[in-house]
């Protein structure tokens, strides 16, 4: 299972400059020399302030989707989980983040790491969905090895 730190969100007063042009991930395009507006990260990350929490990832079960130890998950407890959602679940008093598959009364939690096995939720398990992950915040500086081409 994954250990996780959970934090309540707080209202941010920071408004960051928003670059209005799309930033190409392919061929570079000419940059606009102006900023269009100010944007709050709250507007991007929070759908419901009262039910949104942050959780720090521990473990390697999501590494195949490039979610790593130390990344921050934005978790909304008010959302109803749908098949394929990344959820934070509590199984027998332990937190874990996995993709959920619900088929009738069968529930499976799938990791995003080929070295981990899915978890079948048994009838005797103490199980609940704690929230649905809506965003991942990552510190990507230094993650890519330049010699890796």
When mean pLDDT is compared across 6-20, 98-112, 114-128, the lowest value belongs to 6-20
Domain ranges of the chain: 49-137
Per CATH, the number for 49-137 is 2.10.109.10
Active site residue 15: no
98 catalytic residue (yes or no): yes
Give the pLDDT score at 8: 63
Quick one: pLDDT at residue 14? 58
Rounded to whole angstroms, the Cα distance separating 112 from 67 reads 9
Give me the catalytic one of 40, 61, 93, 114. Answer: 61
Output the pLDDT for position 35.
Answer: 55
pLDDT tens for 57-77 read 999 999 999 999 989 888 999
Catalytic, out of 20, 98, 101, 128: 98
Return the number of other C-beta atoms located less than 10 Å from residue 59's C-beta: 18
Which two tokens mark 146?
């330049």
């Amino acid at each position: 299972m994954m250990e996780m730190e959970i934090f309540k969100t707080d209202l941010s007063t920071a408004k960051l400059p928003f670059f209005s042009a799309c930033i190409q991930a392919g061929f570079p395009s000419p940059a606009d020399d102006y900023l269009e507006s100010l944007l709050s990260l709250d507007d991007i990350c929070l759908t419901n302030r009262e039910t949104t929490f942050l959780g720090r990832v521990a473990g390697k079960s999501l590494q195949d989707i490039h979610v790593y130890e130390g990344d921050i998950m934005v978790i909304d407890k008010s959302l109803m989980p749908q098949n394929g959602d990344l959820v934070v679940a509590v199984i027998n008093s332990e937190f874990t983040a996995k993709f959920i598959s619900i088929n009738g009364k069968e529930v499976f939690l799938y990791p995003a790491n080929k070295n981990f096995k899915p978890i079948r939720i048994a009838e005797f398990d103490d199980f609940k969905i704690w929230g649905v992950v809506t965003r991942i915040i990552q510190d990507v500086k230094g993650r890519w090895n330049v010699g890796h081409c």
